Structure 1
Amino acid sequence: MVLLQNVLFGAFRKNPRKYLRGKFLDTLRLSVKGGHGGNGLPKYGGVGGQGGAVYFVAKEGKTLKDVVHKHSSKRIVAGNGEESSKERILGRRGVDQCVEVPVGIRVLEDDGLLVAELNEDGKSCLAAGGGSGGCSGNSFLGKSGHTRTLTLDLKLIADIGLVGFPNAGKSTLVKALSNASPKIASYPFTTIRPQLGTIEYEDYRQITIADLPGLIEGAHANFGMGHKFLKHVERTRLLLVIVDVFGFQLSQSHRKRNCLENIYALNKELELYDKTLLEKPCVLLVNKMDREGAIDEICKYDKYFSNLQDGLQHCPEELVPKQLLSLERVIPISAKSMTEVDKVKQAVRQVLDEKAAERLRDEGDSDRQDLLRARINERGPKVG
Structure 2
Amino acid sequence: MVRCGCALLRKYGNFIDNLRIFTKGGSGGMGYPRLGGEGGRGGDVWVVAKKNMTLKQLKNKYPQKRFVAGGGANSRVSALKGSKGKDCEVPAPVGISVTDENGQVLGELNKEEDRILVAKGGLGGKLHTNFLPLKGQKRVIRLDLKVIADVGLVGFPNAGKSSLLSRVSHATPVVADYAFTTLSPELGKIMYNDFKQISVADLPGLIEGAHMNKGMGHKFLKHLERTRQLLFVVDISGFQLSSVTPYRTAFESIILLTKELELYKEELQTKPVLLAVNKMDLPDAQVKLHELMKQLQHPEDFLHLFETKMIPEKAVEFQNIIPISTVTGEGIEELKNCIRKALDEEDDKENAAHHSKQLLNLQNSSLVF
Normalising by the residue count of structure 1, what TM-score does the alignment of the two structures yield? 0.88
Deviation, structure 1 residue 94: 1.1
Pair 1:354 & 2:368 matched: no
Shift in CA distance, 202/309, structure 1 to aligned 2, threshold 3 Å: farther
Pair 1:320 & 2:316 matched: no
Give the SS at the match of 1:237: strand
Contact (CA 8 Å) 2:73, 2:83: kept in 1 or not?
A: yes
Shift in CA distance, 145/370, structure 1 to aligned 2, threshold 3 Å: closer
Show CA shifts across 1:237-284 (max 9, x none).
111001111111222332111110110000000011111111111111
User: What corresponds to 1:247 in structure 2?
Assistant: 238
Residue from 123, 127, 147 that aligns with 1:156: 147
Aligned 1:86-101 pairs, distance under 5 A: 86-101=77-92
Pair 1:266 & 2:283 matched: no
- Note the aligned Cα RMSD (angstroms): 2.1
Shift in CA distance, 138/371, structure 1 to aligned 2, threshold 3 Å: closer
Contact (CA 8 Å) 1:220, 1:273: kept in 2 or not?
A: yes
Show CA shifts across 1:318-365 (max 9, x none).
211011212011111111222211111111111111232233334445
Give the SS at the match of 2:261: helix
What is the letter of the counterpart of residue 266 of structure 2?
K
Q: How many residues align?
A: 360
User: What corresponds to 1:8 in structure 2?
Assistant: none
Which stretch shows the higher mean deviation, 186-195 or 357-366?
Answer: 357-366
User: What corresponds to 1:212 in structure 2?
Assistant: 203
Give the SS at the match of 1:227: helix
Residue from 114, 120, 134 that aligns with 1:143: 134
Show CA shifts across 1:76-113 (max 9, x none).
00011122233332222111112221111111011211
Deviation, structure 1 residue 124: 1.2
Deviation, structure 1 residue 120: 2.3
Contact (CA 8 Å) 1:213, 1:225: kept in 2 or not?
A: no
Show CA shifts across 1:9-51 (max 9, x none).
xxxxxxxxxx339822221111000111112222332222211
User: What corresponds to 2:186 in structure 1?
Assistant: 195
User: What corresponds to 1:337 in structure 2?
Assistant: 328
What is the letter of the counterpart of residue 41 of structure 1?
Y
User: What corresponds to 2:4 in structure 1?
Assistant: none
User: What corresponds to 1:169 in structure 2?
Assistant: 160
CA distance in 2, matches of 1:208, 1:308: 32
Larger radius of gyration between Structure 1 and Structure 2: 1
What is the letter of the counterpart of residue 316 of structure 1?
E
Deviation, structure 1 residue 310: 4.6
Give the SS at the match of 1:152: strand
Contact (CA 8 Å) 2:12, 2:183: kept in 1 or not?
A: no
Aligned 1:1-384 pairs, distance under 5 A: 19-20=10-11, 23-365=14-356, 367-368=358-359, 377=367
What is the letter of the counterpart of residue 30 of structure 2?
N
CA distance in 2, matches of 1:143, 1:57: 25
CA distance in 1, matches of 2:48, 2:328: 44
Structure with higher RCO (Cα < 8 A, 6+ apart):
2
Structure 1 gaps of 5+ residues are: 1-18, 380-384
CA distance in 1, matches of 2:130, 2:357: 56
What is the letter of the counterpart of residue 43 of structure 1?
R
User: What corresponds to 1:12 in structure 2?
Assistant: none
Deviation, structure 1 residue 72: 2.0
Identical aligned residues as a percent:
44
What is the letter of the counterpart of residue 311 of structure 2?
V
What is the letter of the counterpart of residue 129 of structure 2?
N
User: What corresponds to 2:6 in structure 1?
Assistant: none
Contact (CA 8 Å) 1:284, 1:327: kept in 2 or not?
A: yes
Contact (CA 8 Å) 1:279, 1:326: kept in 2 or not?
A: no
Give the SS at the match of 1:225: helix
CA distance in 2, matches of 1:316, 1:342: 37
Shift in CA distance, 113/364, structure 1 to aligned 2, threshold 3 Å: same
CA distance in 2, matches of 1:237, 1:308: 26
Shift in CA distance, 306/170, structure 1 to aligned 2, threshold 3 Å: same
User: What corresponds to 1:3 in structure 2?
Assistant: none
Give the SS at the match of 2:238: coil
CA distance in 2, matches of 1:146, 1:235: 31
Deviation, structure 1 residue 140: 1.9
What is the letter of the counterpart of residue 130 of structure 2?
S
CA distance in 2, matches of 1:350, 1:361: 17
Give the SS at the match of 2:226: coil
CA distance in 1, matches of 2:266, 2:12: 35
Give the SS at the match of 2:231: strand
CA distance in 1, matches of 2:37, 2:260: 63
Contact (CA 8 Å) 1:109, 1:115: kept in 2 or not?
A: yes
Deviation, structure 1 residue 181: 0.4
Structure 2 gaps of 5+ residues are: 1-9
